Amino acid sequence: MAKPLIQIALDSLDYNATIALAETVAPHVDIFEIGTPCIKHNGVNLVKDLRARFPEKLILVDLKTMDAGEYEATPFYAAGADICTVLGVSGLATCKGVIKAANAHGAEAQIDLINVEDKVACARATAEAGAHIMGVHTGLDAQAAGHTPFGDLSDIARLGLNVRISVAGGIKASTVQDVVRAGANIIVVGAAIYGAPSPADAAREIRELVEAV
């Protein structure tokens, strides 16, 4: 199996700090995630800027779309996004809209299972509808309440769906190898990199741990 990809969550609101962090960690990551607060704050021009600066990297725009899937996602794919996210709780019609926009641009749609009651049913239905990536995600507020994505990751991985699995939610050096072993294809790391004394060293350590599994 291919080595999992490493995704840095760029979760700052500050435009220049976002670019600077991307430059710092670029040698150690595969995907730049423009986090939801960041894309809301900075808009589509940040996608164009990152695309121009890093033509070799994948760019995920964490839109967390809730309605009007095709309409909302299309300009972000047109600006250079490789992946946009849509909320599983939005329902199948909205997910299908983002999948359609992704396919029109030769790109991918990721279903974010955050706060979905029946994650297995949602994953099955959206995979059947052509979703490319299933995002197992414990959000920042749920993390603060003590939740982790590990149980959900096992539930989704064992379905054997024809999608890649992304996992996010407080992943750090001490847990990254467990999520690789549990079947994650894309590992999202935010605070454990950008909150570290040296984000470059933290990203390098994550890469080395993933490669060592």
DSSP code at position 137 = E
Cβ neighbours of residue 24 under 8 Å, at least 6 residues apart? Answer: 199, 200, 203
Indicate which single residue of 19, 125, 191, 196 sits in contact with ligand 5RP (rule: CB under 6 A).
Answer: 191
Minimum Å distance from CB 74 to ligand 5RP?
22
Q: What angle do the packed helices 92-104 and 119-128 form, to 10 degrees?
A: 40
Q: List binders of ligand 5RP among 81-110 (CB under 6 A).
A: none
CB 175 within 8 A of CB 189: no
- Name the residue among 196, 158, 192, 195 with its Cα closest to residue 6: 192
- Rounded to 5 degrees, φ, ψ at 123 are -65, -45
Segment contacting ligand 5RP by CB under 6 A, of 16-24, 156-164, 167-175, 200-208: 167-175
- Rounded to 5 degrees, φ, ψ at 76 are -75, -40
When computed from its CA atoms, the radius of gyration of the chain, rounded to whole angstroms, is 16
**209 contributes a contact to ligand 5RP by CB under 6 A:** no
Segment contacting ligand 5RP by CB under 6 A, of 41-49, 92-100, 164-172, 173-181: 164-172
Using CB under 6 A as the binding criterion, the count of chain residues that bind ligand 5RP stands at 16
Minimum Å distance from CB 142 to ligand 5RP?
9
Taking the least distance from each CB to ligand 5RP, the nearer of 100 and 198 is 198
Segment contacting ligand 5RP by CB under 6 A, of 15-23, 51-59, 150-158, 182-190: 182-190
Cβ neighbours of residue 104 under 8 Å, at least 6 residues apart? Answer: 74, 77
**210 contributes a contact to ligand 5RP by CB under 6 A:** no
- State both tokens at 125: 């239905």
Taking the least distance from each CB to ligand 5RP, the nearer of 125 and 196 is 196
Cα separation, 37 vs 43, whole angstroms? 10
Indicate which single residue of 59, 73, 79, 168 sits in contact with ligand 5RP (rule: CB under 6 A).
Answer: 168
Segment contacting ligand 5RP by CB under 6 A, of 23-31, 70-78, 151-159, 190-198: 190-198
**5 contributes a contact to ligand 5RP by CB under 6 A:** no
**9 contributes a contact to ligand 5RP by CB under 6 A:** yes
